[in-house]
Amino acid sequence: MKLAELVPPGRSFENPDAEQALLGTLMVNDGVFDAVAEIVTADHFADEVHAEFFRIIAARIRGGRRVDPITVRNEARSNAVTGPAWESYLSRMTGAFTAPFMAPEYARAIRDCWVARAGKSVANDFLTNLRHDPREAATVLEEAQEALNQIVDSGDSYRPVVTALVAVNALREQLDQNWRNGITLSGISSGYAALDAWLDGFHRGGMYVIAGRPAMGKSSIGMCLAVRMALNHGRGLFWSGEMSPSELMARVIAAKTKLPSSAVISGHWRFKDGVRPLGDDVMERIAIASTEAAGIPLVIDDRPGVTVAQIATRAKRMKREKAGIAFIVLDYIGLMRGTPEARRAGNRVAEVTGISSDIARLARELDIPVVVLSQLNRQSENREDRRPTMSDIRESGAIEQDARAVIGVFREEAAIQTRMADGVPVRNFNESDSAYKTRSDETLRRLEEVRGRADLIVMKNRSGRTGTIPMFFDGPSTWFRDEEEGQSSNAW
């Protein structure tokens, strides 16, 4: 018998028959309790008396005591809830006794009704709040959406455990498949060979954090990864809290045509003495690249200040569709909002901690990699060596804990330029002419050495080593390339 056969037609919100059958089975065979307890609790029962009976049974079994109609009798009779109904309920429960192997199915039927009741309660509260709550309708809807997501997420609590034997067999099956098909990565390719070599690809169900200070290129590497993964593995979701879809795609087209993104957006070259329109040949290159870019299977979401619940709703809908969803990129976590409860508490660190935890859970639930961009705090700018460290991650240490890997984006060229004005290094207070000239010459020499270069610093990696991955970065088109690709290779 399946769950659908145990749920009365027309979607019932209560199932007293299933509740009585489950309790009766526990009364006769308490050995099935552990399998049932993974699925249902007393709070899931619709009948108050049934719920109290379950609490009594659960307390006795967890206390190492046996359960049957005789051993439970005294406790049930003295209970304020079950006492008055003991005789009548006992006959119903024992009369509803069924085969022990059916107990988990009855438990699922009980839980299914609880989900229906909980959803109905949220819907009723939502309609009431729409009529009487002075807040914006979108805020009321967001709270209802969060409540519904919590109900759905609670279903994960009774996911069956996996034995070592099952886990090893699954591993061997994956190993054999990879070996036969020549698949060298255990995750999906990032599109960058050097990064794949360090991370072994982006693992399904993993949260990956890429962090950097402003102007270092964290948004750029996020879009680079999204485009290459979409072309290699299928449709992905990119959320941007800073840029519009047209701005993002302008960068993609600029990288393909090797033009400045400003020229792709404005249709003009920009010079110190003015602007000039692009020639027909350049416009033709942009048109061809635009047609190719239109075929990239990437969905861009630019809603400001989204919550993880809103991202989850869209991602789950995409997963149900034929095209599916292969990955998510979020730019960036500091622009996302926590749950309404977290926001009301007014603690931003706790709010970001909750956001990070929810993202990690979403990655596991959808079984896809989620790449999260994060902004580093200003601490690195006060050091002589401005390379990012784990302690520089802004607002929450939970981000680094939840992540499978943490990667810092660093461009020494950009770091040097923050200490320059009008093309020369800023002079320090009381610095002598000779000292300034020596330092200025060395700074300008170093600037030329690192121009067009970047580093991806792997600061945490559950899949292996940590260290620095040298990259090329094209400033005008804001595109990253592997060193092996070369600076003039195709962007995508």
- Each domain of the chain, given as residue ranges in start order, spans 3-115, 187-411+452-482
Over the stretch 403-440, which tens digit does the pLDDT of each residue have?
999 999 999 998 888 888 888 888 888 889 889 899 89
Over the stretch 316-343, which tens digit does the pLDDT of each residue have?
889 989 999 999 999 988 889 887 777 7
299 pLDDT tier (thresholds 50, 70, 90): very high
pTM, to two decimals: 0.73
Classify strands 424-425 and 479-482 as parallel, antiparallel or unpaired.
unpaired
Cβ proximity of 424 and 440 under 8 Å: yes
Q: How many CB atoms lie within 10 A of CB 191?
A: 21
Residue 291 predicted with pLDDT over 90: yes
Classify strands 453-461 and 424-425 as parallel, antiparallel or unpaired.
unpaired
- Residues paired with 235 in a beta bridge: none
- Residues paired with 424 in a beta bridge: 421
d(CA 490, CA 293): 13
Q: pLDDT value at position 224?
A: 96
d(CA 436, CA 422): 16
Cβ proximity of 333 and 403 under 8 Å: no
d(CA 209, CA 212): 10
- Residues paired with 457 in a beta bridge: 408, 468
Over the stretch 227-284, which tens digit does the pLDDT of each residue have?
999 999 999 999 999 889 999 999 999 999 999 988 999 899 988 888 899 899 999 9
Q: pLDDT value at position 154?
A: 67
Rg of the Cα atoms in the chain: 30
Over the stretch 198-233, which tens digit does the pLDDT of each residue have?
999 999 999 999 998 888 989 999 999 999 999 999
Contacts of 392 (CB under 8 A, 6+ apart): 211, 376, 377, 379, 380, 408
298 pLDDT tier (thresholds 50, 70, 90): very high
d(CA 201, CA 195): 8
CATH code matching the domain that covers 3-115, chosen among 1.10.860.10, 3.10.270.10, 3.10.20.30, 2.60.40.1120: 1.10.860.10
Contacts of 431 (CB under 8 A, 6+ apart): 439
Contacts of 111 (CB under 8 A, 6+ apart): 39, 40, 44, 155, 158
- Cα end-to-end distance, the chain, whole Å: 53
Residue 188's SS3 state is strand
d(CA 466, CA 73): 63
Over the stretch 345-368, which tens digit does the pLDDT of each residue have?
777 888 888 889 899 999 998 999
Classify strands 298-301 and 207-212 as parallel, antiparallel or unpaired.
unpaired
Cβ proximity of 406 and 245 under 8 Å: no
What does the longest C-alpha to C-alpha distance in the chain come to? Answer: 101
Structure tokens at 283: 């416009």
Which amino acid is present at 390? Answer: M
d(CA 126, CA 17): 31
H or E, element range at 450:
helix 433-450
Residue 155 predicted with pLDDT over 70: no
- Residues paired with 469 in a beta bridge: 456
- Residues paired with 407 in a beta bridge: 210, 458
d(CA 97, CA 85): 18
Cβ proximity of 261 and 251 under 8 Å: yes
Which amino acid is present at 135? Answer: R
CA–chain centroid gap for 24, Å, is 42
Identify the architecture of domain 187-411+452-482 in CATH: 3-Layer(aba) Sandwich (3.40)
Over the stretch 74-114, which tens digit does the pLDDT of each residue have?
888 888 888 887 877 777 776 766 778 888 899 999 998 99
Structure tokens at 264: 């792709």
H or E, element range at 146:
helix 137-154
